Structure 1
Amino acid sequence: MGIALITGGSAGLGLEFAWQLAAAGHDLVLVARNEERLAEVAARIREVTDVRVEVLPADLSVPDDVERVADRLASTGEGGTPAAVGLLVNNAGFATSRDFTRSRATTELRGVDVMVRAVVRLSHAAVQQMVPRGRGAVLNVASVAAFTAGGTYAAAKAYVVTFTEGLAIDLKGTGVTATAVCPGFTHTEFHERAGIPESSVPGWGWLDAPFVVKQALADVRRGVVVSTPSLRYKAASVALRALPRWGVRALGKL
Protein backbone atom coordinates (compact mmCIF):
# COMPACT_ATOMS: atom_id res chain seq x y z
CA MET A 1 0.00 0.00 0.00
CA GLY A 2 3.02 2.31 0.15
CA ILE A 3 4.69 4.42 2.82
CA ALA A 4 3.22 7.50 4.50
CA LEU A 5 5.39 10.01 6.37
CA ILE A 6 3.48 12.01 8.98
CA THR A 7 4.89 15.00 10.84
CA GLY A 8 3.45 15.58 14.29
CA GLY A 9 2.59 11.91 14.16
CA SER A 10 2.57 11.15 17.89
CA ALA A 11 -0.52 13.10 18.96
CA GLY A 12 -3.72 14.79 17.82
CA LEU A 13 -4.64 14.61 14.15
CA GLY A 14 -1.22 13.20 13.31
CA LEU A 15 -1.81 10.19 15.55
CA GLU A 16 -5.23 9.67 13.98
CA PHE A 17 -3.67 9.84 10.51
CA ALA A 18 -1.19 7.19 11.64
CA TRP A 19 -3.88 4.80 12.85
CA GLN A 20 -6.14 5.19 9.84
CA LEU A 21 -3.30 4.82 7.35
CA ALA A 22 -1.92 1.81 9.22
CA ALA A 23 -5.39 0.23 9.19
CA ALA A 24 -5.41 0.71 5.41
CA GLY A 25 -2.10 -1.15 5.15
CA HIS A 26 0.34 1.73 4.76
CA ASP A 27 3.78 1.47 6.32
CA LEU A 28 4.61 4.59 8.32
CA VAL A 29 7.37 7.04 9.07
CA LEU A 30 6.40 9.02 12.15
CA VAL A 31 8.06 12.37 12.87
CA ALA A 32 7.75 14.29 16.14
CA ARG A 33 9.92 15.94 18.78
CA ASN A 34 9.31 13.51 21.65
CA GLU A 35 11.32 10.36 20.91
CA GLU A 36 9.89 8.42 23.85
CA ARG A 37 6.31 9.13 22.83
CA LEU A 38 7.10 8.28 19.22
CA ALA A 39 8.49 4.92 20.30
CA GLU A 40 5.37 4.19 22.37
CA VAL A 41 3.05 5.05 19.49
CA ALA A 42 5.07 2.98 17.04
CA ALA A 43 5.02 -0.01 19.39
CA ARG A 44 1.22 0.19 19.80
CA ILE A 45 0.62 0.42 16.06
CA ARG A 46 2.94 -2.53 15.39
CA GLU A 47 1.09 -4.60 18.00
CA VAL A 48 -2.30 -4.00 16.39
CA THR A 49 -1.39 -3.97 12.68
CA ASP A 50 1.04 -5.73 10.36
CA VAL A 51 2.65 -2.53 9.08
CA ARG A 52 6.20 -1.34 9.49
CA VAL A 53 6.70 1.84 11.51
CA GLU A 54 9.86 3.95 11.36
CA VAL A 55 10.38 6.70 13.93
CA LEU A 56 12.23 9.87 13.11
CA PRO A 57 12.57 12.26 16.07
CA ALA A 58 12.86 15.83 14.81
CA ASP A 59 12.04 19.38 15.87
CA LEU A 60 10.78 21.09 12.72
CA SER A 61 11.75 24.51 14.04
CA VAL A 62 15.40 23.38 13.77
CA PRO A 63 16.79 23.55 10.20
CA ASP A 64 19.13 20.57 10.63
CA ASP A 65 16.25 18.42 11.84
CA VAL A 66 14.11 19.49 8.88
CA GLU A 67 16.93 18.46 6.56
CA ARG A 68 17.06 14.99 8.13
CA VAL A 69 13.36 14.54 7.41
CA ALA A 70 13.86 15.93 3.89
CA ASP A 71 16.63 13.37 3.33
CA ARG A 72 14.21 10.57 4.27
CA LEU A 73 11.62 11.96 1.87
CA ALA A 74 14.21 12.11 -0.91
CA SER A 75 14.96 8.39 -0.58
CA THR A 76 13.91 6.34 -3.59
CA GLY A 77 14.73 2.82 -2.45
CA GLU A 78 17.57 2.61 -4.95
CA GLY A 79 21.18 1.98 -4.05
CA GLY A 80 20.32 0.71 -0.61
CA THR A 81 18.37 3.81 0.45
CA PRO A 82 15.08 3.43 2.35
CA ALA A 83 11.94 2.81 0.29
CA ALA A 84 10.20 5.82 -1.23
CA VAL A 85 7.47 7.68 0.64
CA GLY A 86 4.23 7.80 -1.36
CA LEU A 87 2.23 10.13 0.92
CA LEU A 88 3.56 13.08 2.87
CA VAL A 89 1.29 14.44 5.61
CA ASN A 90 2.55 17.84 6.76
CA ASN A 91 0.62 17.90 10.01
CA ALA A 92 3.00 19.30 12.65
CA GLY A 93 1.35 22.22 14.38
CA PHE A 94 2.45 25.13 16.52
CA ALA A 95 0.18 27.09 18.85
CA THR A 96 0.65 30.87 18.79
CA SER A 97 -2.41 31.94 20.74
CA ARG A 98 -1.07 35.06 22.44
CA ASP A 99 -1.65 38.55 21.14
CA PHE A 100 1.27 39.38 18.84
CA THR A 101 2.16 42.47 20.85
CA ARG A 102 2.59 40.36 24.00
CA SER A 103 4.26 37.34 22.41
CA ARG A 104 7.97 36.73 22.05
CA ALA A 105 9.37 37.23 18.57
CA THR A 106 11.29 33.95 18.90
CA THR A 107 8.04 32.09 19.56
CA GLU A 108 6.29 33.64 16.55
CA LEU A 109 9.25 32.83 14.31
CA ARG A 110 9.41 29.23 15.53
CA GLY A 111 5.76 28.94 14.55
CA VAL A 112 6.56 30.21 11.05
CA ASP A 113 9.46 27.74 10.83
CA VAL A 114 7.22 24.78 11.71
CA MET A 115 4.05 25.77 9.84
CA VAL A 116 5.58 27.39 6.75
CA ARG A 117 9.29 26.77 6.22
CA ALA A 118 9.14 23.06 7.08
CA VAL A 119 6.04 22.54 4.92
CA VAL A 120 7.77 24.09 1.92
CA ARG A 121 11.03 22.20 2.42
CA LEU A 122 9.44 18.82 3.01
CA SER A 123 6.94 19.22 0.18
CA HIS A 124 9.81 20.03 -2.17
CA ALA A 125 11.80 17.00 -1.06
CA ALA A 126 8.76 14.75 -1.49
CA VAL A 127 7.75 15.86 -4.97
CA GLN A 128 11.34 15.60 -6.23
CA GLN A 129 11.13 11.82 -5.85
CA MET A 130 7.39 11.42 -6.48
CA VAL A 131 7.18 13.17 -9.85
CA PRO A 132 9.79 10.96 -11.60
CA ARG A 133 7.87 7.90 -10.33
CA GLY A 134 4.58 9.35 -11.57
CA ARG A 135 2.68 8.82 -8.33
CA GLY A 136 2.35 10.21 -4.83
CA ALA A 137 0.48 12.78 -2.78
CA VAL A 138 1.18 15.68 -0.44
CA LEU A 139 -1.41 16.47 2.24
CA ASN A 140 -0.88 19.75 4.08
CA VAL A 141 -2.90 20.35 7.23
CA ALA A 142 -4.12 23.95 7.20
CA SER A 143 -7.18 25.33 9.02
CA VAL A 144 -10.38 27.29 8.55
CA ALA A 145 -8.41 29.93 10.48
CA ALA A 146 -6.61 30.53 7.16
CA PHE A 147 -9.59 32.63 6.09
CA THR A 148 -9.65 34.76 9.26
CA ALA A 149 -7.49 37.59 10.60
CA GLY A 150 -6.04 35.49 13.39
CA GLY A 151 -2.41 36.59 13.66
CA THR A 152 0.64 34.47 12.92
CA TYR A 153 -1.19 31.14 13.12
CA ALA A 154 -3.90 32.18 10.66
CA ALA A 155 -1.33 33.82 8.37
CA ALA A 156 0.76 30.64 8.32
CA LYS A 157 -2.28 28.52 7.49
CA ALA A 158 -3.31 30.98 4.78
CA TYR A 159 0.16 30.52 3.28
CA VAL A 160 -0.28 26.74 3.42
CA VAL A 161 -3.58 26.91 1.53
CA THR A 162 -2.24 29.18 -1.20
CA PHE A 163 1.03 27.25 -1.43
CA THR A 164 -0.88 23.98 -1.83
CA GLU A 165 -3.09 25.43 -4.54
CA GLY A 166 -0.02 26.57 -6.47
CA LEU A 167 1.67 23.21 -5.94
CA ALA A 168 -1.42 21.42 -7.27
CA ILE A 169 -1.19 23.49 -10.45
CA ASP A 170 2.51 22.67 -10.86
CA LEU A 171 1.80 18.96 -10.35
CA LYS A 172 -1.05 18.72 -12.85
CA GLY A 173 -0.51 15.80 -15.20
CA THR A 174 2.36 14.30 -13.18
CA GLY A 175 0.35 11.67 -11.30
CA VAL A 176 1.17 13.45 -8.01
CA THR A 177 -1.45 15.47 -6.13
CA ALA A 178 -1.49 18.17 -3.45
CA THR A 179 -4.30 18.71 -0.95
CA ALA A 180 -4.76 21.23 1.88
CA VAL A 181 -7.21 20.16 4.56
CA CYS A 182 -8.87 22.99 6.50
CA PRO A 183 -10.47 21.64 9.68
CA GLY A 184 -12.44 23.74 12.10
CA PHE A 185 -12.25 23.22 15.86
CA THR A 186 -11.39 19.56 16.41
CA HIS A 187 -11.21 17.54 19.61
CA THR A 188 -7.44 17.06 20.10
CA GLU A 189 -4.91 18.18 22.67
CA PHE A 190 -3.81 21.00 20.34
CA HIS A 191 -6.39 23.47 21.65
CA GLU A 192 -5.52 22.61 25.24
CA ARG A 193 -1.87 23.38 24.52
CA ALA A 194 -2.94 26.64 22.86
CA GLY A 195 -4.89 27.63 25.95
CA ILE A 196 -8.28 27.47 24.20
CA PRO A 197 -10.84 25.91 26.60
CA GLU A 198 -13.45 23.71 24.92
CA SER A 199 -16.14 25.66 26.74
CA SER A 200 -15.24 28.74 24.68
CA VAL A 201 -16.67 27.07 21.55
CA PRO A 202 -20.29 25.82 21.29
CA GLY A 203 -20.65 22.06 21.21
CA TRP A 204 -21.84 22.10 17.60
CA GLY A 205 -18.59 23.82 16.60
CA TRP A 206 -16.41 20.84 17.45
CA LEU A 207 -15.41 18.05 15.06
CA ASP A 208 -14.01 14.63 15.95
CA ALA A 209 -10.50 13.74 14.79
CA PRO A 210 -11.49 10.41 13.15
CA PHE A 211 -14.07 12.20 10.98
CA VAL A 212 -11.63 14.95 9.94
CA VAL A 213 -8.90 12.47 9.02
CA LYS A 214 -11.27 10.13 7.16
CA GLN A 215 -12.60 13.04 5.10
CA ALA A 216 -9.10 14.38 4.40
CA LEU A 217 -7.81 11.02 3.17
CA ALA A 218 -10.91 10.49 1.04
CA ASP A 219 -10.34 13.89 -0.57
CA VAL A 220 -6.67 13.04 -1.22
CA ARG A 221 -7.78 9.92 -3.06
CA ARG A 222 -10.21 12.02 -5.11
CA GLY A 223 -7.60 14.65 -5.93
CA VAL A 224 -9.42 17.46 -4.09
CA VAL A 225 -7.14 20.47 -3.67
CA VAL A 226 -8.83 22.23 -0.72
CA SER A 227 -10.64 19.89 1.65
CA THR A 228 -12.93 21.31 4.35
CA PRO A 229 -14.49 18.59 6.51
CA SER A 230 -18.16 19.10 7.50
CA LEU A 231 -20.89 21.13 5.86
CA ARG A 232 -20.86 23.76 8.60
CA TYR A 233 -17.20 24.56 8.10
CA LYS A 234 -17.56 24.46 4.33
CA ALA A 235 -20.27 27.11 4.72
CA ALA A 236 -18.12 29.12 7.13
CA SER A 237 -15.17 29.03 4.71
CA VAL A 238 -17.32 30.20 1.81
CA ALA A 239 -18.72 33.03 3.92
CA LEU A 240 -15.29 34.14 5.15
CA ARG A 241 -13.90 34.12 1.62
CA ALA A 242 -16.86 36.13 0.36
CA LEU A 243 -16.63 38.78 3.07
CA PRO A 244 -14.58 41.92 2.40
CA ARG A 245 -11.44 41.93 4.47
CA TRP A 246 -12.71 44.73 6.68
CA GLY A 247 -15.62 42.45 7.54
CA VAL A 248 -13.26 39.59 8.38
CA ARG A 249 -11.23 41.92 10.62
CA ALA A 250 -14.41 43.04 12.36
CA LEU A 251 -15.04 39.43 13.41
CA GLY A 252 -11.73 39.43 15.27
CA LYS A 253 -9.64 36.36 16.00
CA LEU A 254 -11.99 33.41 15.72
Structure 2
Amino acid sequence: MPTALITGASGGIGKCFAQKLAAKNTNLIIVARSEDKLNALAQELQEQYKIQVDVIVKDLSQISAPQEVFDAVQAKGLSVDILINNAGFGDYGEFVQTDCDRQIQMIQLNNIAVVALTHKFLPQMRERGSGSIINVSSIAAYQPIPYLSVYAATKAFIRSFSEALWAENRQHGVKILVVSPGPTETNFYTEANFPPALARTAKSMSTSEEVVDQALKALEQGNAAVVVGGIASKFITGLSSVIPRETLLNVLEKQFKG
Protein backbone atom coordinates (compact mmCIF):
# COMPACT_ATOMS: atom_id res chain seq x y z
CA MET A 1 0.00 0.00 0.00
CA PRO A 2 1.53 3.39 -0.98
CA THR A 3 2.11 6.19 1.52
CA ALA A 4 1.55 9.90 0.86
CA LEU A 5 3.00 12.74 2.91
CA ILE A 6 0.86 15.88 2.76
CA THR A 7 1.80 19.26 4.21
CA GLY A 8 -0.86 21.77 5.18
CA ALA A 9 -3.23 18.85 5.66
CA SER A 10 -5.42 20.33 8.39
CA GLY A 11 -7.77 22.11 5.98
CA GLY A 12 -8.56 23.23 2.45
CA ILE A 13 -6.74 21.61 -0.46
CA GLY A 14 -4.39 19.63 1.77
CA LYS A 15 -7.24 18.05 3.72
CA CYS A 16 -9.01 17.21 0.46
CA PHE A 17 -5.84 15.51 -0.87
CA ALA A 18 -5.81 13.41 2.31
CA GLN A 19 -9.47 12.42 1.89
CA LYS A 20 -9.14 11.57 -1.80
CA LEU A 21 -5.96 9.52 -1.37
CA ALA A 22 -7.38 7.70 1.65
CA ALA A 23 -10.31 6.67 -0.53
CA LYS A 24 -7.74 5.26 -2.99
CA ASN A 25 -6.32 2.99 -0.27
CA THR A 26 -3.26 5.13 0.44
CA ASN A 27 -1.64 5.38 3.86
CA LEU A 28 -0.99 8.94 4.98
CA ILE A 29 1.49 11.10 6.84
CA ILE A 30 -0.27 14.40 7.51
CA VAL A 31 1.68 17.50 8.54
CA ALA A 32 0.47 20.86 9.84
CA ARG A 33 0.60 23.12 12.90
CA SER A 34 -2.84 22.22 14.27
CA GLU A 35 -2.58 19.05 16.33
CA ASP A 36 -6.30 18.90 17.13
CA LYS A 37 -7.35 19.16 13.47
CA LEU A 38 -4.79 16.61 12.35
CA ASN A 39 -5.79 14.11 15.02
CA ALA A 40 -9.47 14.51 14.17
CA LEU A 41 -8.76 13.96 10.47
CA ALA A 42 -6.54 10.96 11.19
CA GLN A 43 -9.22 9.31 13.31
CA GLU A 44 -11.90 9.97 10.69
CA LEU A 45 -9.87 8.55 7.80
CA GLN A 46 -8.58 5.54 9.72
CA GLU A 47 -12.08 4.56 10.78
CA GLN A 48 -13.62 5.14 7.36
CA TYR A 49 -10.96 3.61 5.11
CA LYS A 50 -8.97 1.29 7.43
CA ILE A 51 -5.69 2.88 6.48
CA GLN A 52 -2.70 3.98 8.57
CA VAL A 53 -2.49 7.71 9.25
CA ASP A 54 0.56 9.16 11.00
CA VAL A 55 0.41 12.70 12.37
CA ILE A 56 3.42 15.04 12.47
CA VAL A 57 2.78 18.40 14.10
CA LYS A 58 5.23 20.94 12.68
CA ASP A 59 5.30 24.58 11.65
CA LEU A 60 7.12 24.43 8.33
CA SER A 61 7.78 28.16 8.43
CA GLN A 62 10.48 27.29 10.99
CA ILE A 63 13.80 26.59 9.32
CA SER A 64 14.50 23.36 11.21
CA ALA A 65 11.06 21.84 10.52
CA PRO A 66 11.69 20.07 7.15
CA GLN A 67 14.62 18.14 8.61
CA GLU A 68 12.54 17.30 11.68
CA VAL A 69 9.71 16.01 9.48
CA PHE A 70 12.14 13.85 7.51
CA ASP A 71 13.72 12.52 10.70
CA ALA A 72 10.28 11.68 12.11
CA VAL A 73 9.37 9.74 8.98
CA GLN A 74 12.64 7.84 9.10
CA ALA A 75 12.17 7.08 12.80
CA LYS A 76 8.76 5.58 12.03
CA GLY A 77 10.34 3.36 9.37
CA LEU A 78 8.05 4.79 6.69
CA SER A 79 8.67 5.19 2.96
CA VAL A 80 7.08 8.13 1.14
CA ASP A 81 5.70 7.27 -2.31
CA ILE A 82 3.81 10.54 -2.85
CA LEU A 83 4.98 13.91 -1.50
CA ILE A 84 2.45 16.74 -1.65
CA ASN A 85 3.92 20.15 -0.82
CA ASN A 86 0.71 22.05 -0.20
CA ALA A 87 1.38 24.23 2.86
CA GLY A 88 1.60 27.94 2.18
CA PHE A 89 0.05 31.33 2.77
CA GLY A 90 -0.27 34.78 1.22
CA ASP A 91 -0.16 38.31 2.58
CA TYR A 92 -1.98 41.23 0.99
CA GLY A 93 -0.67 44.78 1.12
CA GLU A 94 1.75 47.32 -0.24
CA PHE A 95 5.20 45.82 0.25
CA VAL A 96 6.69 48.78 2.16
CA GLN A 97 3.85 48.59 4.67
CA THR A 98 3.98 44.84 5.26
CA ASP A 99 5.70 43.14 8.16
CA CYS A 100 9.15 42.04 6.99
CA ASP A 101 9.27 39.01 9.28
CA ARG A 102 5.97 37.77 7.82
CA GLN A 103 7.32 38.10 4.26
CA ILE A 104 10.41 36.08 5.18
CA GLN A 105 8.23 33.52 6.95
CA MET A 106 6.18 33.22 3.75
CA ILE A 107 9.30 32.53 1.68
CA GLN A 108 10.40 29.94 4.25
CA LEU A 109 7.08 28.10 4.10
CA ASN A 110 6.17 28.54 0.43
CA ASN A 111 9.63 27.92 -1.00
CA ILE A 112 12.40 26.81 1.34
CA ALA A 113 10.32 24.08 3.00
CA VAL A 114 9.29 22.81 -0.45
CA VAL A 115 12.90 22.67 -1.63
CA ALA A 116 14.09 21.04 1.60
CA LEU A 117 11.39 18.35 1.73
CA THR A 118 11.80 17.60 -1.96
CA HIS A 119 15.55 17.29 -1.55
CA LYS A 120 15.05 14.87 1.36
CA PHE A 121 12.52 12.52 -0.25
CA LEU A 122 13.32 12.70 -3.98
CA PRO A 123 16.59 10.66 -3.78
CA GLN A 124 14.72 7.75 -2.19
CA MET A 125 12.14 7.85 -4.99
CA ARG A 126 14.87 7.81 -7.63
CA GLU A 127 16.57 4.88 -5.95
CA ARG A 128 13.29 2.94 -6.12
CA GLY A 129 12.58 4.12 -9.67
CA SER A 130 9.11 5.28 -8.65
CA GLY A 131 7.37 8.06 -6.78
CA SER A 132 5.41 11.26 -7.24
CA ILE A 133 5.68 14.85 -6.05
CA ILE A 134 2.89 17.42 -6.32
CA ASN A 135 3.76 21.03 -5.57
CA VAL A 136 0.84 23.41 -5.13
CA SER A 137 1.42 26.77 -6.82
CA SER A 138 -1.21 29.27 -8.04
CA ILE A 139 -2.23 31.16 -11.14
CA ALA A 140 -0.41 34.01 -9.36
CA ALA A 141 2.75 32.26 -10.60
CA TYR A 142 2.14 33.44 -14.16
CA GLN A 143 2.59 37.19 -13.59
CA PRO A 144 3.82 39.59 -10.90
CA ILE A 145 0.94 40.85 -8.76
CA PRO A 146 1.13 44.23 -7.03
CA TYR A 147 0.01 44.07 -3.38
CA LEU A 148 0.77 40.34 -3.43
CA SER A 149 4.36 40.86 -4.54
CA VAL A 150 6.12 38.29 -2.36
CA TYR A 151 3.32 35.72 -2.56
CA ALA A 152 3.21 35.81 -6.37
CA ALA A 153 7.00 35.56 -6.51
CA THR A 154 6.98 32.49 -4.24
CA LYS A 155 4.43 30.81 -6.48
CA ALA A 156 6.46 31.63 -9.61
CA PHE A 157 9.43 29.98 -7.90
CA ILE A 158 7.40 26.83 -7.22
CA ARG A 159 6.24 26.66 -10.83
CA SER A 160 9.74 27.07 -12.27
CA PHE A 161 11.34 24.69 -9.76
CA SER A 162 8.72 22.00 -10.30
CA GLU A 163 8.79 22.09 -14.10
CA ALA A 164 12.59 21.81 -14.07
CA LEU A 165 12.39 18.79 -11.78
CA TRP A 166 9.78 17.19 -14.06
CA ALA A 167 12.32 17.31 -16.89
CA GLU A 168 15.17 16.01 -14.70
CA ASN A 169 13.29 13.10 -13.18
CA ARG A 170 10.85 11.66 -15.71
CA GLN A 171 13.49 9.26 -17.05
CA HIS A 172 14.00 7.97 -13.50
CA GLY A 173 10.39 6.89 -12.99
CA VAL A 174 9.50 9.83 -10.72
CA LYS A 175 6.53 12.05 -11.60
CA ILE A 176 6.66 15.75 -10.72
CA LEU A 177 3.58 17.96 -11.08
CA VAL A 178 2.92 21.61 -10.30
CA VAL A 179 -0.75 22.46 -9.86
CA SER A 180 -1.81 26.10 -10.19
CA PRO A 181 -5.33 26.73 -8.89
CA GLY A 182 -7.27 29.88 -9.58
CA PRO A 183 -9.56 31.32 -6.87
CA THR A 184 -10.53 28.42 -4.61
CA GLU A 185 -13.01 28.04 -1.77
CA THR A 186 -10.50 28.00 1.10
CA ASN A 187 -9.60 30.40 3.91
CA PHE A 188 -6.78 31.92 1.79
CA TYR A 189 -8.37 35.36 1.48
CA THR A 190 -8.99 35.64 5.21
CA GLU A 191 -5.51 34.51 6.20
CA ALA A 192 -3.93 36.78 3.56
CA ASN A 193 -5.77 39.81 5.02
CA PHE A 194 -7.53 40.66 1.78
CA PRO A 195 -9.90 43.64 1.98
CA PRO A 196 -13.40 42.04 2.08
CA ALA A 197 -14.58 44.03 -0.94
CA LEU A 198 -11.61 42.84 -3.00
CA ALA A 199 -12.03 39.24 -1.89
CA ARG A 200 -15.64 39.34 -3.06
CA THR A 201 -14.50 40.21 -6.60
CA ALA A 202 -12.97 36.73 -7.02
CA LYS A 203 -15.37 35.04 -9.42
CA SER A 204 -16.06 31.42 -10.27
CA MET A 205 -14.20 29.83 -7.38
CA SER A 206 -13.19 26.20 -7.69
CA THR A 207 -13.74 23.80 -4.83
CA SER A 208 -10.83 22.05 -3.16
CA GLU A 209 -12.26 18.81 -4.54
CA GLU A 210 -12.04 20.12 -8.12
CA VAL A 211 -8.43 21.16 -7.58
CA VAL A 212 -7.45 17.78 -6.15
CA ASP A 213 -9.34 15.75 -8.77
CA GLN A 214 -7.67 17.60 -11.63
CA ALA A 215 -4.26 17.41 -9.96
CA LEU A 216 -4.46 13.65 -9.44
CA LYS A 217 -5.66 13.15 -13.03
CA ALA A 218 -2.78 15.25 -14.40
CA LEU A 219 -0.30 13.35 -12.22
CA GLU A 220 -1.58 10.03 -13.52
CA GLN A 221 -1.12 11.28 -17.09
CA GLY A 222 2.47 12.32 -16.36
CA ASN A 223 1.89 16.02 -16.99
CA ALA A 224 4.36 18.62 -15.80
CA ALA A 225 1.74 21.22 -14.91
CA VAL A 226 -1.99 21.78 -14.64
CA VAL A 227 -3.99 24.99 -14.24
CA VAL A 228 -7.30 24.61 -12.40
CA GLY A 229 -10.19 27.01 -12.70
CA GLY A 230 -11.66 26.64 -16.14
CA ILE A 231 -11.47 29.14 -19.00
CA ALA A 232 -11.00 32.13 -16.69
CA SER A 233 -7.83 30.76 -15.12
CA LYS A 234 -6.40 29.67 -18.45
CA PHE A 235 -7.12 33.13 -19.88
CA ILE A 236 -5.37 34.83 -16.97
CA THR A 237 -2.30 32.60 -17.20
CA GLY A 238 -1.96 33.41 -20.89
CA LEU A 239 -2.10 37.19 -20.54
CA SER A 240 1.58 37.67 -19.78
CA SER A 241 2.55 36.21 -23.14
CA VAL A 242 0.39 38.55 -25.22
CA ILE A 243 0.15 41.86 -23.31
CA PRO A 244 3.12 44.26 -22.94
CA ARG A 245 4.60 43.94 -19.47
CA GLU A 246 4.00 47.51 -18.32
CA THR A 247 0.42 47.45 -19.56
CA LEU A 248 -0.28 44.22 -17.71
CA LEU A 249 1.28 45.53 -14.50
CA ASN A 250 -0.74 48.76 -14.67
CA VAL A 251 -3.96 46.76 -15.07
CA LEU A 252 -3.06 44.44 -12.20
CA GLU A 253 -2.10 47.35 -9.94
CA LYS A 254 -5.53 48.92 -10.40
CA GLN A 255 -7.29 45.56 -10.01
CA PHE A 256 -5.56 44.60 -6.76
CA LYS A 257 -5.29 48.02 -5.12
CA GLY A 258 -8.64 47.49 -3.45
Q: TM-score, normalised by structure 1?
A: 0.92
Match of residue 149 from structure 1: 144
**Residues 35-60 of structure 1 deviation map (CA, whole Å, 9 limit, x = unaligned):** 12211111111122111100001111
Match of 2:114 among 111, 119, 123: 119
Contact persistence 1:186–1:206 (CA under 8 A) = yes
Alpha-carbon separation, structure 2, partners of 1:188 and 1:248: 27
Q: In terms of mean alpha carbon deviation, does 199-208 or 164-173 score higher? A: 199-208
- What code does the residue aligned with 2:157 have? Y
Match of residue 47 from structure 2: 47
Alpha-carbon separation, structure 1, partners of 2:183 and 2:250: 20
Contact persistence 1:147–1:241 (CA under 8 A) = no
Report the CA distance shift for 1:241/1:19 in structure 2 as closer, same or farther (over 3 A): farther
Alpha-carbon separation, structure 2, partners of 1:40 and 1:84: 23
Match of residue 66 from structure 1: 66
Q: In terms of mean alpha carbon deviation, does 188-197 or 130-139 score higher? A: 188-197
Alpha-carbon separation, structure 2, partners of 1:102 and 1:203: 24
Report the CA distance shift for 1:203/1:245 in structure 2 as closer, same or farther (over 3 A): closer
**Residues 195-253 of structure 1 deviation map (CA, whole Å, 9 limit, x = unaligned):** 33487445743111111110011111111111112332123212234333223312225
Contact persistence 1:59–1:66 (CA under 8 A) = no
**Residues 133-158 of structure 1 deviation map (CA, whole Å, 9 limit, x = unaligned):** 00001100000011122200000000
Report the CA distance shift for 1:203/1:118 in structure 2 as closer, same or farther (over 3 A): closer
Alpha-carbon separation, structure 2, partners of 1:164 and 1:198: 33
Match of residue 90 from structure 1: 85
The 5 A counterparts of 1:122-133 are: 122-133=117-128
Alpha-carbon separation, structure 2, partners of 1:24 and 1:132: 24
Match of residue 139 from structure 1: 134
Match of 2:178 among 170, 177, 180: 180
Report the CA distance shift for 1:203/1:63 in structure 2 as closer, same or farther (over 3 A): closer
Report the CA distance shift for 1:226/1:247 in structure 2 as closer, same or farther (over 3 A): farther
Report the CA distance shift for 1:133/1:147 in structure 2 as closer, same or farther (over 3 A): same
Q: Which runs of 5+ in 1 are unaligned?
A: none
The 5 A counterparts of 1:1-254 are: 1-72=1-72, 75=74, 82-150=77-145, 151-196=149-194, 197=196, 200-202=199-201, 204-232=203-231, 233-252=233-252, 254=256
Give the aligned CA root-mean-square deviation in angstroms: 1.8
Alpha-carbon separation, structure 2, partners of 1:132 and 1:40: 34
Name the SS for the 2:56 alignment partner.
strand
Alpha-carbon separation, structure 1, partners of 2:176 and 2:71: 20
Contact persistence 1:177–1:220 (CA under 8 A) = yes
**Residues 60-95 of structure 1 deviation map (CA, whole Å, 9 limit, x = unaligned):** 11122221123356x4xxxx8522111100000122
Alpha-carbon separation, structure 2, partners of 1:108 and 1:159: 15
Contact persistence 1:186–1:209 (CA under 8 A) = yes
Alpha-carbon separation, structure 2, partners of 1:97 and 1:62: 21
Alpha-carbon separation, structure 2, partners of 1:167 and 1:60: 22
- What code does the residue aligned with 1:88 have? L
